[in-house]
Amino acid sequence: MANFNLKINGQSHQVEVDEDTPLLWVLRDHLGLVGTKYSCGIAQCGACTVHVNGEAMFSCTMPVSSVGSDEVTTIEGLSKDGNHPVQKAWDEVDVAQCGYCQAGQIMTAAAFLKKNPKPTTDEIENAMNRNICRCGTYHKIREAVAMAAKTK
């Protein structure tokens, strides 16, 4: 067990956990930030996507010891009131079915659009291909990312 001082959504948090504990479980079990989801645990599906220094990362395979003083943003901290352009587009397009994958999808899309504000459809698909949606909402995700890019 070790102590970690994490910067999450602009606040610092102290946790005492084993150093191999994935950031995902620190968020969910220790900090009550349950918007970041567990689905595969092996970096295959993207349900656990968070931003680390603005980069979309799979939190399920990121040991807490590797986070250091990096800035972590979770879906809860993406915007104040759900008004990030990506969240708004997700609402506008009504993207979700079960919704379980969508926090991860939104986080991937938000990081991607920051880097590439005017993406082509191919670029959107390449970026979003790392996130699985078992309900098959891919058409709507693509539409919402394109919409967010326009409304930014």
By CB under 6 A, name the binding residues for ligand FES.
38-41, 43-48, 58, 60, 96-102, 133-135, 137
Residue number, 101 or 107, with CB nearest to ligand FES: 101
Distance CA 137, CA 133 (A): 6
Burial of 41 by CB count in 10 Å (0-12 exposed, 13-18 middle, 19+ buried)? middle
Among 4, 52, 137, 148, binds another protein (CB under 8 A): 137
Q: Which does 48 bind (CB under 5 to 8 A by kind): another protein, ligand FES, none?
A: ligand FES
Residue number, 88 or 118, with CB nearest to ligand FES: 88
- Other C-beta atoms closer than 10 Å to the C-beta of 126 total 13
- Other C-beta atoms closer than 10 Å to the C-beta of 88 total 16
Burial of 149 by CB count in 10 Å (0-12 exposed, 13-18 middle, 19+ buried)? buried
Q: How far is the CB of 101 from ligand FES (least distance, A)?
A: 3
Closest CA to 109 of 127, 123, 97: 127
Q: Which stretch binds another protein (CB under 8 A): 51-59, 65-73, 74-82, 110-118?
A: 74-82
- Other C-beta atoms closer than 10 Å to the C-beta of 109 total 31
Which residues are at the interface with another protein (CB under 8 A)? 1, 17-18, 20-22, 25, 28-30, 32-42, 44-45, 47, 74-76, 78-79, 81-82, 87, 90-91, 94, 96-103, 106, 125-126, 128-129, 131-142
